[in-house]
Amino acid sequence: MTDNEKKLIQARHRLEEAQARDRVKQRKARTRRLIQEGAVLEKALPQTVSMSLNELETYLHELTN
């Protein structure tokens, strides 16, 4: 294996690692956003805390229609 081939493989691995870090960062940001939105929902509509997901979805659809 030549030096150029090694450098190409290393560069490809660095790129893959950077992309993996970006995916993790995006996933964590989405999780944080969903948690914050859920907290706002519970604060604004405290009756939703005891609802199942299906009940909550139905309730929110009814509110918007």
Number of domains in the chain: 1
Average confidence score pLDDT of the chain:
96
What six digits make up the tokens of 16?
């893959």
Q: Is pLDDT of 1 > 90?
A: no
pLDDT of residue 54: 97
Q: Is pLDDT of 26 > 90?
A: yes
Q: For residue range 47-60, what is the model confidence (pLDDT) as tens digits? A: 999 999 999 999 99
Q: What is the mean pLDDT of residues 26-53?
A: 97
CA gap 62, 8 in Å, rounded: 56
pLDDT of residue 10: 97
CA gap 29, 22 in Å, rounded: 10
Range of the domain at 41: 3-64
Could you give the C-alpha distances from 53 to 6, 18, 49, 60, in angstroms and in order?
51, 36, 10, 10
CA gap 6, 20 in Å, rounded: 21
Q: Is pLDDT of 33 > 90?
A: yes
